[in-house]
Amino acid sequence: MVAPVRLCRLVFSALLGLLTLGLGAPARAQSYGQYLVVLDDSGSMDGTDPKRLVVLAAHALAAALEDGDQVMLVGLNELAAGAPAAFRSPRELLEARDGAEGPRTLATPLAERIGRHEGQTPCRDALQNARTIFESVASAGAPQTLLLLTDGACNGGATEPAERWLGGLRAHREGRFRFVLLMRAGPERPDRQLVDYARRTGWESDVRVSFDARALVRAFAEVLSFSRGLRFDDGGRVGLERTFAGARHVRVLSLAEGGAERLGLERVAPAGASSGVIGGPTAGPFARPPRAPTRRPSRCARPPRARRSW
């Protein structure tokens, strides 16, 4: 059991606490998961995501994974084209994720590549190659999660029916595959087949998401909870104490919009004594921002003495 976490002060214009809870369930045999995060890199994304917030949200998800997990961040068009890709450790993707508090520039070839927008939205070809990638590592027996994010309708041919596409995945047949579709909120309707993929693997939340920092990080945190079979909590108000009785692991992912001060989080003991929760590195703007610098999502460290459940 871990002590309550208090959101102790508002130091920015807005604060969002995202909590992924490992409740008191038996430990799982699987100690890691494989995550394929596919981001729309079509030309229209220049208009819908000029600040590349989608890229930062994807890195925030990777930062919240365990060392034993495997993750791949890839653009939709490069995946459809069959570009070489491989799963990597989150620590390899974000080498300084456990460093001292403070801003870090997201200056990597990967961030630059998936933040470059050109081409169409070839979902069918990308998903065929995604299935091939997952099948090539299926023998490891790890849970597999595919997150597909787009800003509009797919093109380049109709996607396969859910029964056929999912049926080609060993992980799905063995009950360890999760699919999530996130589409920018707007007038276009989500692809019915892709919605069916998600529903058949258990995703029940809305597939539409606003392309702003708060909504994107919240949605990605919910995807992480879903992939682990855990409960997602949408945080709380400033000054609110929250108790998670029976939780073996509490992870806090906080987002600050505007301002440069640090976030304030406290761990409160049952007797009332409190101690600060030290945060980690903050993902900052791109070294070569295609447009304006992004806002900064930040990751706060897990409370002291909390035990891992994964």
Domain boundaries, the chain: 5-300
Q: What is the pLDDT along the chain (310 residues), one digit of tens a residue?
A: 333 333 222 222 222 333 444 433 333 433 489 999 999 999 999 999 998 899 988 988 888 888 889 999 999 999 999 998 889 998 888 876 666 656 666 778 888 888 899 999 999 999 999 999 999 999 999 999 999 999 999 999 999 999 999 999 999 999 999 999 999 998 889 999 999 999 999 999 999 999 998 899 889 989 988 998 876 766 655 555 566 666 666 666 665 555 555 666 677 777 778 877 665 555 444 333 333 333 333 333 333 333 333 3
Domain 5-300 top-level CATH class? alpha beta
Give the side-chain half-sphere CA count within 13 A for 2: 27
Compute the distance between CA of residue 308 and CA of residue 180 in angstroms, rounded to an integer.
25
Alpha helices in the chain (DSSP H): 45-48, 53-63, 76-80, 90-93, 109-114, 123-136, 162-167, 170-173, 192-200, 213-228
Amino acid identity of residue 188, one-letter, is E
Given this model, what pLDDT does residue 130 score?
A: 97
Query: What radius of gyration, in Å, describes the C-alpha atoms of the chain?
Result: 19
Report the pLDDT value the prediction gives residue 11, as an integer from 0 to 100.
24
Q: Is 61:232 a contact under the CB 8 Å cutoff?
A: no
| Token pair listed for 48 | 């819908």
At 171 the pLDDT is 97
Measured CA to CA in angstroms, residue 37 lies from 61, 224, 250 at distances of 9, 11, 23
In this structure, what token pair is assigned to residue 203? 């995703």
Quick one: pLDDT at residue 166? 98
What does the pLDDT read at residue 95?
72
pLDDT of residue 32: 82
- Cα–Cα distance for residue pair 69/142, rounded to 1 Å: 9
Question: What is the pLDDT, as a whole number, of residue 242?
Answer: 60
